[in-house]
Chain A
Amino acid sequence: MSFRKCLRIVKNAFRMYGIYFRRNLYLTITISVSLLMFLGFAMYMDIELANQEQSYRRIQSNYIVVNCINQATTEEFNQLFHSNRRLALQHHFGSCELMNEDGEKIDAGCNLLASQQFISGISIRNGMDYLGGAEASNAFCYDTFELLCGRGQYRAANEAIISEELSSLIASKPEDALGKHIVLGLFGPTQVYVVVGVYHTTQTETRLNKESFQQLNAGINPEKSMIFTVFLPENALIGIEHPTDLYLFFQNQVEYREIMKKLQKYDAAHQVEEKMYSYRTPSENEESFEFDQATNTRTKALIMILVAVLAGISVFGTMENSISARKTEIGIKKALGAGDGAIMFEFLVENIITSLVAMLFSICLVSLALLAYTYYQRRFLAMDFVVWVYPSTIWLFLCYAFSSILGFSLIPAFRATQVNIIDTIRES
């Protein structure tokens, strides 16, 4: 077949696609639905991974993360890495409710608990765990404090509040709040926590009203301060009854090597025992992320095969139908000189157009859903993670779906060439 002839047949197929649009519409919808299932799932997986990736990227650059299994190890590391230890706080935007001056509920980044006359929000954390916070008062203002707590003893009280005195102390002289007790009754029995760090943040409100925030805090870019490092006071971890992740902070390669040397020495000394800790360097973080990414891709690839086959089968079925319905047309075309190649090519091209439309359709639909989800996340969950889809997902999708559809079209297309001219011409 010459190029021009191919071109003409492609043009013809496009026209036929238009003419048989209604019949092809069913096919398009069938394929789209099966493809949507996959794409939706794959994109969901991507979002999870992308969130993970963003956290990794933020933390990994300047930290070695040590996970301690028990309290003793925590203490040990605490002493060993006195000068490097930090607690890295990842600002986590959960769902929450805040009240504005008029008593209307507004969305914000943190769960804040009640503290009547306090003018600022307070949220409380223990390492990476979010424990709770103080609700904004009627006179809500855009300042929020984060308290870092070690765990105290259990108490049988039901209230979960921060005292008024402590509130004002936090607001006026945050450093004096260190060592004070907070009673929280969030999860299970009420607990008393010791404040080990106080730091100032206004991030929550960036989600509410960026402009006000910027007016209040000219010069600060809130988006960049999503990870905090808190320098721990000497006795910060005393009284903590459970292990904590320590983030060992380094500013340059020299510091990095120092920490690594210490860690290796510690490793060597503790070889025989069952390890009560583990640590991840930035490059290991990277690796573990890459592993997650690979797992993600593999899983996607597997589901993809399944769905591609489904899509292929639906193409197969619908195409078989359409060929029986169009036998006369095929017969006439053959009588007028269409060769087997031309007939087959025409049907394949028509199917390819259909599949492409279906693919575009499902990509658009899923992208819309993704946009809606992003909006929902920002607007209602006040989460600031960028929702994205990896290009590999789209590529995998296009390649698999396309080749499967093409493959499954071959048999019906071939059957089309086998149509008996005389039978069809007689019938009409």
Chain B
Amino acid sequence: MEPILSLQNIYKAFGDRVVLNHVDLLIEPGEYVSIVGASGAGKSTLMNIIGLLDQNFTGTYAFNGQPLSKREHSRFRNQHLGFIFQQYNLIPSLTSKENILLPCAYASGKIQEAEQTCERMLREFGLEKQKDQPVNTLSGGEKQRIALIRSVIMDPEILLADEPTGNLDEKSGRRVRDFLQEMNLAGKTIIVVTHDLEFSNEAERRLKVEGGELHELS
């Protein structure tokens, strides 16, 4: 099977400090990958490159075997990637629903479908009452749930999560992990960075960033 993402010979340095030293990463469709490593090892740096949030790197990046030009990056993020951040990264002044539907503003089509999905998921996550509330009035757990819904609203093939449970209590963290597993079962490719050993063990494939290199853990 052709890898859904293939990163080859990725090199990233901040000044003299080399964070990723010619790293290769192939990810198969439907894989559940977790990335671990010490603090400052470069996990977030790698995630940002995978998510094309950082475009300043050398190396090749291909989606389904196709290299992407810089102009296609934003559309690619919009259509094929879903992000879950540790800091939620919601727009505080907008309501929950508006935040969830934000990616739709930059896409064509899929809008009605997305609105239905949004309503349904808000119900599933028990956030119906909060849907028209500005997100800066929500609790952390609620924010993370909104972020979860937003990450899949465009029905992307790949979900990227950088320490999605870092700021959450046990129960909320559990929900995030269940959500990712569920999405993986539904066929999405998941890549997650975490410090939590138990969480990382849920993934079928585990990677470790160390000394600028990427190792497979078995």
Contact = CB atoms under 8 A, between A and B. Distances in A.
Interface of A: 2, 4-5, 8-9, 12, 15, 19-20, 328-329, 331-340, 342, 421-422, 425, 428
B78 interface: yes
Contacts of A8: 104-105, 111
A interface SS class = helix
B87 interface: yes
Given A5-B108, A8-B105, A342-B106, A336 B75 contact: no
B102 interface: yes
Given A333-B102, A422-B54, A19 B75 contact: no
Contacts of B107: 5, 337
29 contacts: A2-B108, A5-B107, A5-B108, A8-B105, A9-B105, A15-B98, A328-B89, A328-B91, A329-B91, A331-B89, A332-B90, A332-B102, A333-B102, A334-B74, A335-B53, A336-B103, A336-B150, A337-B74, A337-B77, A337-B78, A338-B78, A338-B106, A339-B74, A339-B75, A339-B106, A425-B53, A425-B87, A425-B89, A428-B88
Nearest to A346: B105
Nearest to A5: B108
A8 B103 CA distance: 11
The 6 closest A-B pairs by CB, nearest first: A337-B78, A339-B74, A336-B103, A338-B106, A337-B77, A421-B53
Contact of B103 (A2, A15, A337, A425): A337
Most buried by A among B79, B87, B88: B87
B56 to A, nearest CB: 9
Interface in B107-158: 107-108, 111, 150, 154
Contacts of A428: 87-89
Given A335-B53, A337-B106, 6 more contacts: A9-B105, A336-B150, A337-B74, A337-B154, A338-B74, A339-B75
B64 interface: no
Given A5-B108, A342-B106, A422-B48, A336 B54 contact: no
Contacts of B105: 8-9, 12, 338, 342
Contact of B89 (A9, A12, A20, A332): A332
Nearest to A11: B105
Most buried by B among A19, A334, A342, A425: A425
Contacts of B89: 328, 331-332, 335, 425, 428
B63 interface: no
Given A425-B85, A425-B89, A428-B89, A336 B108 contact: no
B79 A4 contact: no
Most buried by B among A4, A19, A340: A19
Contacts of A337: 74-79, 103, 106-107, 154
B129 to A, nearest CB: 21
B91 A332 contact: yes
A268 to B, nearest CB: 79
Interface string B51-64: 10110000000000
A342 B107 CA distance: 10
Nearest to A18: B93
Nearest to B49: A422
Contacts of A19: 93-94
A20 B94 CA distance: 11
Contacts of A20: 93
Contacts of A338: 74, 78, 105-106
A336 B77 contact: yes
Nearest to A337: B78
Most buried by A among B79, B88, B107, B150: B107
A336 B78 contact: yes
B83 interface: yes
B216 to A, nearest CB: 26
A4 B54 contact: no
Most buried by B among A2, A337, A338: A337
A124 B103 CA distance: 79
B120 to A, nearest CB: 20
Contacts of A5: 106-108
A77 B98 CA distance: 83
Contacts of A334: 74
A117 B189 CA distance: 107
B106 A336 contact: yes
A292 B79 CA distance: 62
B53 A333 contact: no
A367 B78 CA distance: 48
A179 B191 CA distance: 111
Contacts of B104: 8
B114 to A, nearest CB: 12
Nearest to B153: A336
Nearest to A339: B74
B84 to A, nearest CB: 11
